Amino acid sequence: MAVSAVATLLFLLVASPVAFAANHVVGGSGGWSQSGDYSTWAAGETFNVGDTLEFNYGGSHGVDVISKNDYDNCNTGNAIESYSDGKTTIKLSKAGPMYFTCPTFGHCQTGMKLAITVKDSSTLSGSPPSSTTPSTPSTPSTPSDSNGATGHFGSMNKFVVGVSVVLGAMFAFMC
């Protein structure tokens, strides 16, 4: 029993997903352009808090962070944030929906718009240090490692005790 418990613990330690912040290159190799299909692209990605979005685009484009209403109506006049440096990296710092478009006239209508939903990954694993981190079993490595070490040590003790009991019994029978 103890051995299987230790094996399970070790398996959980090895198999527990270690979440690293991912960088999502918008549109993949096609980048941020009028020929991209960003609803399809976004559907294939999982966005977690702490990840980054990377927009790569030519000089005729830009990146605006916009509201849902402006996204739905392709309004480009009220950007929350606006970028035009050709390579824009945006950190996804909180969970919830985010909306982007290209501010160049007519480009939103031709499909240069992106809506994503950022998930709070801290409930899945103890990854990025966010302000509200609930206590999860899989907190950083040191406590779990020491748990594993004491668990293993404890089972070794039981094993030794068990072996001596068996040997003692055998010895008693033989005499």
Residues in the site for Cu ion, rule: CB under 5 A? Answer: 61, 102, 104, 107, 112
Closer residue to Cu ion, CB minimum distance, 104 or 127: 104
State the minimum distance, in angstroms, from the CB of residue 29 to Cu ion.
17
Closer residue to Cu ion, CB minimum distance, 34 or 130: 34
Closer residue to Cu ion, CB minimum distance, 24 or 61: 61
State the minimum distance, in angstroms, from the CB of residue 114 to Cu ion.
12
State the minimum distance, in angstroms, from the CB of residue 130 to Cu ion.
33
State the minimum distance, in angstroms, from the CB of residue 51 to Cu ion.
23
Which residue, judged by CB position, is nearest to Cu ion in the bound state? 102
For every residue of the chain, which 3-state class applies, written as one string? CHHHHHHHHHHHHHHCCCCCCCEEECCHHHCCCCCCCHHHHHHCCCEECCCEEEEECCCCCCEEEECHHHHHHCCCCCCCEEECCCEEEEECCCCEEEEEECCCCCCCCCCCEEEEEEECHHHCCCCCCCCCCCCCCCCCHHHHHHHHHHHHHHHHHHHHHHHHHHHHHHHHHHC
Burial class (CB in 10 A: 0-12, 13-18, 19+), 144: middle
State the minimum distance, in angstroms, from the CB of residue 125 to Cu ion.
37
Closer residue to Cu ion, CB minimum distance, 8 or 35: 35
Closest CA to 48 of 90, 93, 18: 93
Closer residue to Cu ion, CB minimum distance, 47 or 100: 100
